[in-house]
A = this chain, B = another copy of it.
């Protein structure tokens, strides 16, 4: 945590997992293109729905990874500045609420 907190705030919290997130997002892009091909070729509705659920879960995994990075870095980075911390916590809670509700 001290390492994280020592970083300038302009370096994103997910810097150590940037490649992981990009690899996942490229795979999701492939899933979305696969879904387009399924619709174009009149695939069976239920098979498409199964793939939509898989892509949704993959997106959730990206979100949970980014959020974990964010809590570990951005949030703790602000731990010594009460005003900044309050702002960050409110922001993080809103992001979590959006995820839970999406």
A49 CB contact (under 8 Å) in B2, B29, B56, B98: B98
Encode contact with B along A3-29: 1 for CB under 8 Å, 0 otherwise.
000000011111100100110011011
State the number of copies, please.
Answer: 4
Check if A57 sits within 8 Å of B26, measured CB to CB: no
Identify the A interface with B (CB < 8 A): 1-2, 10-15, 18, 21-22, 25-26, 28-29, 32-33, 35-36, 39-40, 42-46, 48-50, 52-53, 55-57, 59-60, 62-64, 66-72, 74-76, 79, 82, 85-86, 89, 91-93, 95-102
Check if B52 sits within 8 Å of A62, measured CB to CB: yes
Check if B99 sits within 8 Å of A100, measured CB to CB: yes
Check if A99 sits within 8 Å of B66, measured CB to CB: no
CB within 8 Å for A68 and B39 given contacts A32-B29, A52-B63, A102-B56: no
CA distance A63 to B43 in the complex (A): 14
Check if B36 sits within 8 Å of A100, measured CB to CB: no
